[in-house]
Protein backbone atom coordinates (compact mmCIF):
# COMPACT_ATOMS: atom_id res chain seq x y z
CA UNK A 1 0.00 0.00 0.00
CA UNK A 2 2.81 2.39 0.87
CA UNK A 3 4.67 1.63 -2.35
CA UNK A 4 1.56 2.34 -4.39
CA UNK A 5 1.08 5.70 -2.67
CA UNK A 6 4.75 6.57 -3.24
CA UNK A 7 4.49 5.51 -6.89
CA UNK A 8 1.43 7.65 -7.55
CA UNK A 9 2.94 10.63 -5.73
CA UNK A 10 6.18 10.41 -7.71
CA UNK A 11 4.24 9.93 -10.96
CA UNK A 12 2.10 12.99 -10.21
CA UNK A 13 5.22 15.05 -9.47
CA UNK A 14 6.80 13.88 -12.74
CA UNK A 15 3.71 14.91 -14.69
CA UNK A 16 3.39 18.20 -12.82
CA UNK A 17 7.00 19.21 -13.42
CA UNK A 18 6.73 18.15 -17.08
CA UNK A 19 3.77 20.49 -17.50
CA UNK A 20 5.72 23.27 -15.76
CA UNK A 21 8.68 22.69 -18.11
CA UNK A 22 6.60 23.44 -21.19
CA UNK A 23 4.28 26.06 -19.70
CA UNK A 24 6.66 28.46 -17.95
CA UNK A 25 7.80 31.54 -19.83
CA UNK A 26 11.26 31.86 -18.27
CA UNK A 27 13.71 29.46 -19.90
CA UNK A 28 15.96 29.17 -16.84
CA UNK A 29 12.98 28.16 -14.70
CA UNK A 30 12.01 25.66 -17.39
CA UNK A 31 15.45 24.04 -17.19
CA UNK A 32 15.26 23.94 -13.39
CA UNK A 33 11.86 22.24 -13.55
CA UNK A 34 13.44 19.77 -15.97
CA UNK A 35 16.11 19.00 -13.36
CA UNK A 36 13.41 18.31 -10.79
CA UNK A 37 11.58 16.14 -13.30
CA UNK A 38 14.73 14.08 -13.93
CA UNK A 39 15.32 13.70 -10.19
CA UNK A 40 11.79 12.39 -9.66
CA UNK A 41 12.29 9.94 -12.52
CA UNK A 42 15.40 8.73 -10.69
CA UNK A 43 13.32 8.37 -7.52
CA UNK A 44 10.86 6.27 -9.51
CA UNK A 45 13.72 4.04 -10.65
CA UNK A 46 14.80 3.59 -7.03
CA UNK A 47 11.24 2.70 -6.07
CA UNK A 48 11.14 0.09 -8.84
CA UNK A 49 14.42 -1.47 -7.69
CA UNK A 50 16.70 -0.22 -10.47
CA UNK A 51 19.35 1.63 -8.49
CA UNK A 52 21.86 1.58 -11.34
CA UNK A 53 19.42 3.28 -13.70
CA UNK A 54 18.65 5.86 -11.01
CA UNK A 55 22.35 6.68 -10.65
CA UNK A 56 22.77 6.93 -14.41
CA UNK A 57 19.64 9.12 -14.59
CA UNK A 58 21.12 11.54 -12.08
CA UNK A 59 24.62 11.55 -13.55
CA UNK A 60 23.76 11.73 -17.25
CA UNK A 61 20.47 13.58 -17.42
CA UNK A 62 20.21 15.67 -14.26
CA UNK A 63 23.93 16.40 -14.44
CA UNK A 64 25.19 16.46 -18.00
CA UNK A 65 22.22 17.15 -20.23
CA UNK A 66 20.77 19.89 -18.04
CA UNK A 67 24.16 21.60 -17.84
CA UNK A 68 24.23 21.53 -21.64
CA UNK A 69 20.75 23.09 -21.72
CA UNK A 70 21.81 25.79 -19.27
CA UNK A 71 24.85 26.65 -21.39
CA UNK A 72 22.64 26.94 -24.46
CA UNK A 73 20.18 29.16 -22.59
CA UNK A 74 22.99 31.38 -21.30
CA UNK A 75 24.85 31.59 -24.61
CA UNK A 76 21.89 32.25 -26.88
CA UNK A 77 20.39 35.71 -26.54
CA UNK A 78 16.69 34.97 -26.08
CA UNK A 79 15.75 38.59 -25.37
CA UNK A 80 16.44 39.83 -28.92
CA UNK A 81 13.48 40.74 -31.11
CA UNK A 82 12.41 38.30 -33.82
CA UNK A 83 13.87 38.74 -37.27
CA UNK A 84 11.87 41.00 -39.57
CA UNK A 85 12.39 38.97 -42.74
CA UNK A 86 11.87 35.35 -43.63
CA UNK A 87 14.48 33.22 -45.30
CA UNK A 88 13.92 33.15 -49.08
CA UNK A 89 15.63 29.76 -49.30
CA UNK A 90 13.21 28.10 -46.88
CA UNK A 91 11.35 25.27 -48.56
CA UNK A 92 8.16 25.03 -46.55
CA UNK A 93 6.28 22.79 -48.97
CA UNK A 94 9.13 20.31 -49.08
CA UNK A 95 9.22 20.23 -45.27
CA UNK A 96 5.49 19.60 -44.99
CA UNK A 97 5.72 16.93 -47.68
CA UNK A 98 8.55 15.14 -45.87
CA UNK A 99 6.66 15.33 -42.56
CA UNK A 100 3.56 13.88 -44.22
CA UNK A 101 5.66 11.07 -45.73
CA UNK A 102 7.10 10.21 -42.30
CA UNK A 103 3.61 10.17 -40.74
CA UNK A 104 2.31 7.90 -43.53
CA UNK A 105 5.31 5.61 -43.07
CA UNK A 106 4.75 5.39 -39.31
CA UNK A 107 1.09 4.60 -39.92
CA UNK A 108 2.04 1.86 -42.40
CA UNK A 109 4.48 0.36 -39.90
CA UNK A 110 1.81 0.47 -37.19
CA UNK A 111 -0.75 -1.22 -39.45
CA UNK A 112 1.74 -3.85 -40.58
CA UNK A 113 2.84 -4.70 -37.06
CA UNK A 114 -0.66 -5.07 -35.58
CA UNK A 115 -1.26 -8.45 -37.20
CA UNK A 116 2.06 -9.99 -36.13
CA UNK A 117 2.52 -11.75 -32.79
CA UNK A 118 4.86 -9.93 -30.46
CA UNK A 119 8.04 -11.81 -29.61
CA UNK A 120 9.52 -10.74 -26.26
CA UNK A 121 13.06 -9.65 -27.06
CA UNK A 122 14.19 -9.15 -23.47
CA UNK A 123 13.69 -12.77 -22.46
CA UNK A 124 15.53 -14.05 -25.54
CA UNK A 125 18.40 -11.60 -25.04
CA UNK A 126 18.85 -12.24 -21.33
CA UNK A 127 19.09 -16.00 -21.81
CA UNK A 128 22.35 -15.60 -23.76
CA UNK A 129 24.05 -13.20 -21.34
CA UNK A 130 27.13 -14.83 -19.77
CA UNK A 131 27.32 -12.39 -16.83
CA UNK A 132 25.37 -12.07 -13.61
CA UNK A 133 24.24 -9.00 -11.75
CA UNK A 134 22.12 -6.05 -12.74
CA UNK A 135 24.93 -3.69 -13.77
CA UNK A 136 26.80 -6.35 -15.72
CA UNK A 137 23.65 -7.31 -17.63
CA UNK A 138 22.92 -3.69 -18.55
CA UNK A 139 26.50 -3.21 -19.73
CA UNK A 140 26.50 -6.46 -21.69
CA UNK A 141 23.25 -5.61 -23.47
CA UNK A 142 24.30 -2.01 -24.06
CA UNK A 143 27.55 -2.92 -25.79
CA UNK A 144 26.30 -5.99 -27.69
CA UNK A 145 22.63 -5.93 -28.66
CA UNK A 146 22.08 -2.18 -28.38
CA UNK A 147 25.42 -0.87 -29.64
CA UNK A 148 23.99 0.92 -32.69
CA UNK A 149 21.29 2.87 -30.74
CA UNK A 150 23.94 3.74 -28.14
CA UNK A 151 26.23 5.14 -30.84
CA UNK A 152 23.35 7.03 -32.48
CA UNK A 153 22.49 8.65 -29.15
CA UNK A 154 26.12 9.69 -28.66
CA UNK A 155 26.20 11.19 -32.16
CA UNK A 156 22.98 13.14 -31.45
CA UNK A 157 24.55 14.55 -28.29
CA UNK A 158 27.63 15.54 -30.27
CA UNK A 159 25.48 17.30 -32.88
CA UNK A 160 23.59 19.14 -30.12
CA UNK A 161 26.85 20.31 -28.57
CA UNK A 162 28.21 21.50 -31.93
CA UNK A 163 24.90 23.27 -32.62
CA UNK A 164 25.13 25.11 -29.30
CA UNK A 165 28.67 26.23 -30.12
CA UNK A 166 27.64 27.42 -33.57
CA UNK A 167 24.67 29.35 -32.17
CA UNK A 168 26.87 30.99 -29.53
CA UNK A 169 29.62 31.83 -31.99
CA UNK A 170 27.26 33.47 -34.51
CA UNK A 171 26.73 36.44 -32.16
CA UNK A 172 30.43 37.36 -32.09
Domain end call among 60, 78, 96: 78
CB-based burial of residue 65 (10 Å sphere; 0-12 exposed, 13-18 middle, 19+ buried)?
Answer: middle
What is the per-residue pLDDT across 116-169, written as a single tens digit (0 to 9) for each?
666 665 554 455 566 677 777 778 888 888 888 889 988 998 988 888 788 777
Q: For residue 84, what pLDDT is reported?
A: 64
Q: For residue 101, what pLDDT is reported?
A: 94
Q: For residue 6, what pLDDT is reported?
A: 94
What is the per-residue pLDDT across 32-71, written as a single tens digit (0 to 9) for each?
899 999 999 999 999 988 888 899 899 888 888 888 887 7
The answer to whether residue 164 sits within a structural domain is: yes
CA-to-CA dists, residue 115 to 102, 104, 111, 118, 140, angstroms: 21, 18, 8, 9, 32
Domain end call among 38, 60, 78: 78
pLDDT category, 23, cuts 50, 70, 90? very high
Q: For residue 128, what pLDDT is reported?
A: 59
Domain span at 33: 1-78
Bigger pLDDT: 17 or 84? 17
Distance CA 76, CA 165 (A): 10
> Count of domains in the chain?
2
CATH code for position 56: 1.20.120.1200
The answer to whether residue 4 sits within a structural domain is: yes
The answer to whether residue 29 sits within a structural domain is: yes
> Mean pLDDT highest for which of 4-8, 25-29, 152-156?
4-8
Amino acid sequence: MGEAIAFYFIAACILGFAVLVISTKDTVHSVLFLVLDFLFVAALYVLLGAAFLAAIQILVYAGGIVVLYLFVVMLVNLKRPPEAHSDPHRQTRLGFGMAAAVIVELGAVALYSTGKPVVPLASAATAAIPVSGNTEQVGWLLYTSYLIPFEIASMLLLVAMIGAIVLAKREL
